[in-house]
Structure 1
Amino acid sequence: MDVNGTGFVLVIGRTGWLGEGTPGQAAEPPEGLAWHSADHTLRLAQLPFVFPERSGNRRLGPADRRGAARDRYGNWFWIGPDHDEVRLQTLGTAGSTRFWPRPQPCLAAEPPTGDFAPAGSAAPQAQRLAGLAVTDDHHLAVGVPDVPGLLVFDLHAGGPPTTLTWPTALRPVDMAAAPGGGLWILDGTGGPGAARYWGLDRLWRIRDLAEPGEAPPPPEDFLPLPTGSVGGPGDPADRGPGSGNGERGSPAEVATGWAVAIEALPDGSVLVLDRGDPHPAQVLRMRGTRELGRIPLAPIVGPVDLAFLGDAGGVAGTVFVAESQGDQAFALALAADGSTLTPQTRYLPMRLFSGKALVASRDQVHYDLGERWLPVTDRHSPRYVGAASLERGPFDAGEPGTVWHRLAIDGRFPPGTGIAVLSRTADQPDALELTAWREEPAPYLRGAGSEVPYHRFGARGAPDAGTVEVLLQRARGRYLQVRLQLSGDGRHTPRLWALRVHRPRFSYLQHYLPDLYRDDPEAADFLDRYLANTEGLLTEHEGRIAAAQRLLDITSLDAEHIAWLGGWLGATTDPAWDEARSRLLVQHAVELFGRRGTVRGLVEAVRLATDPCPDSTIFDGTPVPGFGVRVVEAFRTRTVSPPATSGGAGAVTSGPRIVGSGARWLVDEGRGELDRRYREFVVARHPDVAALEAVWGRSVAAVDGDFAEPFPPLTPGSHREATERREFMVASLAVPYADVSAQDATAYRGFLAQRYREPAALSAAWGLIGGSQLRSFDEVALPGAAVPSDGPALQDWFSFASGYLPTVRMAHRFTVLVPMSLDSSDAARADRLAQVTRVVEQERPAHTGYEVRPYWAAFRVGEARVGLETSLAQGSRFVALVLGEGRMAQGQLGGGHPWDVPDRWVVGRDRILPRTGSTRTEAGHG
């Protein structure tokens, strides 16, 4: 309701536009209209695009199908153009190589004579191949009609294939990998109209597809007879005929005109593509020998292949069908019960599809262009119906004779589209059907946006989005019904999001003008409608004034005003931020500014700027889970000092005492012990004083030719001497010791002033008497050639050098650790670090120093990633790790069979015991 008391009826959402259908469901759109769930708009229905027939084009047929598949590592396999070889294209390469048969060595011109000849000297006979699939457990199966049977390649172990033979005829038309391992084979032995399909489980046993209660399979049913072992626990070598297991299997007949493709579904059923002839093309869903349904494929003519991409679970998903022109694929939505295929209006062009196969791999469908495999991509080129109409209402005003005011529609109205409004009114709902429709003026796009204060539809600056409005001319009555006529040019459509019908009209003529202006009914009607235009402009401004509080509510404020409201609080939003991030900043600005300069405030500011999906939990104190931004204050990373004395902090370090000499020097051992250890360390490194002076570059004190200098309390100027002193401290001192120089005298005096408060207390503790007593802490000097003598002076010096000075140097410094993904590029990492650096520079306290570093959650304590026995291997899936060009955590390490492969013998996982008769005993198998 606006400031004048005029309310409106709102139509929004699918149910609002289309009305109620079945209980709990909206009705279906009228003919020519469609509901678009992605943006909740009503629009003209989209037409399926059918690529026009090209002159001279040769249609693809079943003979062009050769079979293709992709393994789990991205390598492509397909049957060659002459149907006598298998081609391989490895991941990342442009061309293909022959995978099978393997190239044979050159043979001598004259074959050797006699009883013996080299094994394999005769070239193998060329075999015709038909049908190819890669199973879930990484076997490649290729059909060989002339054997008849299958070649089975173990893609994990490599080596020559195993041949599984069929005692009866087998002509594979297509193959599909069964979920969880195994294979489906479409068999066209009987020719068109007599297709059947076989099922093999993951152990390559023929499945019995007969339904329970059916007649037993005929005598010719069989298990394939392997000529070699597929390898692994329970391999088919132990399950062929004669093994005594008594298992038999049978195929299922498919009553079709011309079956050309088979595809597996997750529930164990299959889809069989029937090309047609004589009936139209269709898809059959089969489970065993039971037909679950036939789904027509009109208007697709002569399809050659299909592929299935499943959704989250069940059989619901999308079926892709390639048409015989080779120019496009059609997408059809398979219902959750598998009973219907609903055509989708997606445009899926295929450039020069040669007909090898449609292959579903990694949530995408691919087709072949020569030796390239390209994804089937949806090209957004929609076609729409030209016009359609929708009726809404009746809307009830509640009072007879109500004057309906205006109608507003939020939506998008591209050039070439239009919308016309017709209305009719009555005081009784039954009278509406007897009332003629009246055409209203053409709606116009409001320049100021919606008539509702602070409501805007569409992005600012979008030329085709906004609110169109029409002033209803003679709509008087309790009930109103409107008809919207949508039109387009075939390439574009109006998109209607919401409709508002305002009533009753607030009449300036009735409220503000004398009765004289209402004497003439015709003139009064015109004047009332004329003044309604002015009323619309003024009411809009009055409404904005009355709803001004919305400008201060960040949850409802328009995006364009967020920066303005943030300016009131001093919160500057980043122009690169999205709307949700900017709203969070303004909403929590007071909390964030109250913690500015603290570790928590810094982490919150960084998370607000960098988290992919920020929310209010950033500011409620919830700990960052695991792998998040961390702020490490430098003083917390200093080496923790153990007690300076063996007796602890309060131990006596002067007077007679028993001192044990440990591996590392403690303060209560005294200065003499420290100097002795230092001299022994230096003498052990240098054979004589002359050599020492040559290395240190200065003269040293010596007694009887032996080095006799004490441990220097300050860092020496000679680099070599300073290095050896540092090595001595690391090896011999029980406490850390900082590099102290003459510039640290002020810090030393400050340390003593904090500890003793008065110079007299310091003099008493150090035993200074007479003229040596201190009158000011400024009289304290750094130790000279040796550390202070035993007692409190020595204790104070090492407390300063090992504890106080490192803490002061690390104060006001911190490191921001930014989590990084191992998969992100160097450019992405650099951008993220730069973004965090900008935030830290703005939010840190002015007196602090910082650094921003990345980190990876790649290593764990107690878990070895790389050991001495590990080698970086090369192969079809592994490449060399080049030092300086890659990161160790991103390299892949070569190894044996994966431990999750169930049908292979894996070293370290499976233990094989000797056979007992014909029974294999397996132990230790997971």
Structure 2
Amino acid sequence: MDVNQTRFHLLHGRADWGQLRLSDGTAALAELWQQPEGVDLPVVWDDTSRALRLTSRVPLFRRASGTEELVIAQRRGADRDSYGNWYWIDEAESGIRFLPSGGSPATEFWTSLRRDERCALPDDGGFAAKPAPAPEPLLLRGLAVTKAHYLVVGDVTRRGLLVFDLHSGDAPILLRWPAGVPFEPWDLAATSDGGLLVLDRTHATYWRLNDDFRLPGQPLPGETIWFQPKDGAAPAPAGRTELQPEGFPLSLESPPDLLDAVSIAPGPDGTVLVLDSHPLRPFSRLLQYQDGLLMASYSLEDAVTVADPATGPGATVTFSVVGHDVAYCAAPDGEGLANQKSLVYIAEQAGNQTLAFEMDEDAEQLIAQPLYLPMRRWQGKALVCAGGQVYYDFADRWVSLQPFMDCQYDSRAVLVTPPDFAGWIAATGLESPPAAPDKVTGAPLDSALAGCVWHRLLLDAQIPPGTAVQVRARAADDARLLSQQSWLVQPTLYLRSNGCELPYQDPWKDLETVPQRTGTWELLFQGVQGRYLQLELTLTGSGRATPALRNLRAWYPRFSYSENYLPAIYREDPVPASFIERWLANFEGFFTYIEDHIEHVDALFDPRTAPADTLQWLACWFGMVLDPLWDEQRRRFFIRYADHIFRRRGTLAGLQIALRLYLEPNVDASLFDPACWEGGVVRIVERFRTRKLSGAALGDATAESGSTDPADDAHRFTVLLPHDLDDEQLAMAGRIVDLEKPAHTEFELKRFWDLFRVEEARLGLDTRLGESSRFLPLILGESYLAGSYLPAAYPF
């Protein structure tokens, strides 16, 4: 409601826009979007831009003449660690290449041809040992980097896995499969829990290892237990049991000869995705497993509707996908990311394009996404999901897969607001809708005022050059007569120069750069009078661009300057009165915008609602200068809790708050909770709280005994910070402590390398129990209590 008591109906988000209908249909868009054929609708809801737009058609990238399709044998295996370094198997399949994150050229990381080299003795001119012959090269296939920074490579020659510790840099450890177990690694993939998936293409089997590289299996018979109870009681179970490792066969209902598993990837909720691309089948299948059981089989036959240039402009065809590799990217967690989807990316065997799908596990269908993802000169090494992005290899580089925005869109769509009033009245048993039926799906836009003059229509939209949005409207006092009214063509929308009409609101603040012709578009309703309103929106695209509608606001009733400020004589003649009404509406809109900002000026003084460009001005009220490197959320938090921060300045808690405010990526009100001041990543140790022991007490007989002067530890403290801070961050933390500490105190800044330090650590405050690979999950009847832990979280 504005200062003139004018209200508005709002369409915002997928649920509201989903109530609209196509002009030639009766079902709501939300219902049509849920159907598999919903992809053929002329409009879609774009979760990324949070807007309604015309449907884009994925172009089919035709392979250039003279080029050949990728061969499955070209697959090498590749992955990236958390520091941005890339690893992949070389062309000879006998070594590993390495591309550092700093932009340096790719180098050799390890090769099996020199795996047994030793440092040679200096030549003294005498006899020397005959050099050992060069080792035979190993055949390597499949590569992955686990969450704990272990690089794992499949060793086909020795039927095992090579494990490299990327932190220590030592020689690899060979995990060899038992002689009686068939094993030939083909593809590897790391799981989110630190484990590993191994695909054996030859034997149609996959293996799942935990974060300790242990396999599930069955105990071997005939095991000897050396130590028995002295009193002859029942023998105790063995502490370590030799197991016969077991893989999960890729069993299918179809004959085994129609299965060719070429790629493996972790799926949603701990499942496993396997890409089946048999050469005798003109399409691939995506198989989903859970603990070795086949949960679903997704066919890629006619899975995508694409725009094929070979069939003429504007023509679409269905396309069956033959996949070369697969990657699964889970939706990121965090505030403002709820609309992001978990997608499966399948690289087409032609090597020119990747297709994205959303998994509908209930219907066992893959829903193609309208994303044009071309690849340039892909050599087929691997398709890798890392850090929420999908990458492919380009020569010795790895580039992220980005949608090409020059897509082909549908040319036109006509939408109307809900018209099914007769069906709504019959369902509710009412002769006329109540005062506010807009809360009910399918209800009309109701002003609850007989003879209401509808005022303005505003759209938060992007309307690129060559596209348009036309509006028609009709209104009636009886909902059952609304469909019989004639449509009235409304004026052309224009882009407001001063932005959104709502005070201190920016509908596009989530965009770093606002595209051309993006903002709030406005029109003044002409001749639209009646209690109920129906709108018709015609979206017209250029084929290369589309309008995108984010929000719609229909304002009512009109505050007429002519009726409120002019004598009645100005309204006697309808024709001049209509002109005066529309002419004065320009001034009404201008002054209402200013008056609304004055009415809601309190929003400027609240750090939660103040515009981003006014935060520095608001901070000046406290005599503060905000760090230009801080993001908007951190600035708002600091201003909001400035009183709490200043009250604790100079105290131990104040130092904790100041450092955490600078170091932690996300800050909230827990900064002021005393329960969170101890045990965090920032530790402050006051010297008087530590007890110093002499060397004699620690076993040094040559040390002098005696106690130190307590005054030496007074007014002194040590600040322990995370060890991964760079020098610039460490220096900034030192300046913060120097600014916030009491003037008479002295401090020492140290990196937090270890959790336990002799003469410095406080038991229970600076120490904590960590994880160890020697402890295994507790299994009833098999594990020792002292050598295992309970994996279930409380409550059990």
TM-score under structure 2 length normalisation: 0.65
For each residue in 1:457-499, what CA deviation from the matched residue of structure 2 results, as whole angstroms up to 9, or x when unmatched?
Answer: 3349956553221111111122111123334555554443322
Q: Secondary structure at the match of 2:576?
A: helix
Equivalent position of 1:89 in the other structure: 97
The answer to whether residue 345 in structure 2 is matched with residue 341 in structure 1 is no
> In 2, Cα distance between the equivalents of 1:632 and 1:163?
50
SS of 2:526's partner is coil
Distance 1:182 1:511 in 2: 75
Kindly provide the CA deviation profile for residues 522-570 of structure 1, in whole angstroms up to 9, marking residues without a partner as x.
2212221221222222223333333344444444333344444444554
CA distance in structure 2 between the partners assigned to 1:568 and 1:182 by the alignment: 57
- Tell me what 1:542 maps to: 595
- Distance in 1 between residues matched to 2:690 and 2:287, nearest whole Å: 73
Residue 5 (structure 2) aligns with? 5
Matching residue of 2:498: 448
CA distance in 2, matches of 1:104, 1:568: 69
Does structure 1 retain, via aligned residues, the 8 Å contact 2:54–2:413?
Answer: yes
Question: Does the CA contact (< 8 Å) of 1:351 and 1:369 recur in 2?
Answer: yes
Aligned to 1:303: 323
Q: Give the whole-Å Cα distance in 2 for the aligned partners of 1:498 and 1:544.
A: 21
1:307 to 1:501, Cα distance in 2 relative to 1, 3 A: closer
**Cα shift at 1:395:** 0.9
Partner of 2:445: 395
SS of 2:722 mapped into structure 1? coil
Equivalent in the alignment of 1:683:
none
Query: Is contact 1:559–1:579 with CA below 8 Å preserved after alignment?
Result: yes
- 2:76–2:142 CA contact under 8 A, matched in 1: yes
> Structure 1 residue 405: deviation in Å?
0.6
Structure 1 segment 104-119 matched on structure 2, within 5 A? none
**Hey, what does 2:124 align to over in structure 1?**
none
Query: Does the CA contact (< 8 Å) of 2:69 and 2:349 recur in 1?
Result: yes
Question: How far off its partner does 1:58 sit?
Answer: 2.0
Q: Which structure is richer in relative contact order (CA contacts within 8 A, separation 6 or more)?
A: 2
Cα distance in structure 1, aligned partners of 2:646 and 2:110: 65
RMSD: 5.4
* Distance in 1 between residues matched to 2:113 and 2:359, nearest whole Å: 37
Give the distance between the partners of 2:610 and 2:295, measured in 1 at CA: 59
Distance 1:474 1:104, change over 3 A: same
Q: Equivalent residue for 1:283?
A: 286
Which deviates the most, 410-419 or 519-528?
A: 410-419
Q: Distance in 1 between matches of 2:729 and 2:31?
A: 48
- 1:841-867 deviation line (CA, Å, top 9, x unaligned): 4x677xx366675333333447899xx
2: CA distance between counterparts of 1:161 and 1:572?
A: 58
Distance 1:248 1:554 in 2: 56
Aligned to 1:261: 262
Secondary structure at the residue paired with 2:64?
Answer: coil
2:50 maps to a residue whose letter is: H
Q: Which runs of 5+ in 1 are unaligned?
A: 106-117, 145-149, 188-195, 208-231, 241-246, 641-662, 664-729, 737-801, 866-896, 903-921
- Residues 564-619 of structure 1: CA distance to partner in whole angstroms, max 9, x if unpaired? 44445545545554444443444444555556666655655555555543334545
Structure 2 residue 221 is matched with structure 1 residue 197: no
What does residue 884 of structure 1 align with? none
Q: Secondary structure at the match of 1:820?
A: strand
In the other structure, the counterpart of 2:235 is: none
Offset, 1:3? 2.4
* SS at 2:107 equivalent: coil
Match of 2:200 among 185, 204, 218: 185
Aligned to 1:857: 752
1:381 and 2:405 matched: yes
Aligned counterparts of 2:628 and 2:552: Cα–Cα separation in 1: 33
Amino acid at match of 1:186: R
CA distance in 2, matches of 1:251, 1:551: 64
Structure 2 contact 681–721 (Cα < 8 Å) conserved: no
Q: What is the TM-score when the length of structure 1 is the normalising length?
A: 0.57
1:270 Cα deviation from its structure 2 partner: 5.3
**Corresponding position of 2:344:** 319
Task: Report the alpha carbon displacement of residue 45 of structure 1 after superposing the two structures with TM.
Answer: 3.4
Query: Given residue 536 of structure 2, which amino acid in structure 1 is its aligned partner?
Result: R
Q: Does 1:513 align with 2:537?
A: no
Q: Partner amino acid for 2:18?
A: L
Shift of 1:341: 1.8
Q: Which has the larger radius of gyration?
A: 1
Which of 248, 259, 274 does residue 277 from structure 2 map onto? 274
Match of 2:74 in 1: 65
Tell me, yes or no, if the aligned pair for 1:135 and 1:178 is still in contact at 8 Å.
Answer: yes
| Unaligned segments of structure 2, at least 5 residues | 22-26, 101-105, 119-129, 165-170, 219-239, 305-318, 334-340, 419-443, 697-702, 761-771, 778-783, 789-796
Q: 1:479 aligns with which of 512, 532, 538?
A: 532
Aligned partner of residue 597 in structure 2, secondary structure: helix
Would you say the 8 A contact 2:163–2:175 is kept in 1?
no
CA separation of 1:411 and 1:860: change in aligned 2, threshold 3 A = same
- Give the Cα–Cα distance (whole angstroms) in 1 for the partners of residues 539 and 28 of structure 2: 28
> In the superposition, relative to structure 1, how do residues 607 and 303 fare at CA in structure 2: closer, same or farther (>3 Å)?
closer
Are 1:99 and 2:112 counterparts? yes
C-alpha distance in structure 2 between counterparts of 1:638 and 1:290, whole Å: 59
Residue 55 of structure 1 corresponds to which residue in structure 2? 65
> SS of the counterpart of 1:441?
coil
Distance across 1 between alignment mates of 2:670 and 2:65: 63
Q: For the Cα contact (< 8 Å) 2:466–2:542, is it kept in 1?
A: yes
Name 2:727's counterpart in structure 1: 826
Q: Alignment identity in percent?
A: 28
Task: Tell me the CA shift for residue 404 of structure 1.
Answer: 0.5
Query: Displacement of 1:346 after TM fit?
Result: 4.2
Moved more, 491-500 or 356-365: 356-365
Partners in 2 of 1:359 and 1:559 — Cα distance?
37
Report the 3-state secondary structure (helix = DSSP H, G, I; strand = E; otherwise coil) of the residue aligned with 1:352.
coil
Task: Give the Å deviation of 1:123.
Answer: 9.9
What displacement does 1:406 show? 0.6
- Post-superposition Cα deviations, 1:295-322, rounded to whole Å, max 9, x if no partner, equal 2244355433334456799xx9543322
**Which residue identity is paired with 2:54?**
L
1:527 matched to 2:580? The reply is yes
Secondary structure in structure 1 of the residue aligned to 2:507: coil
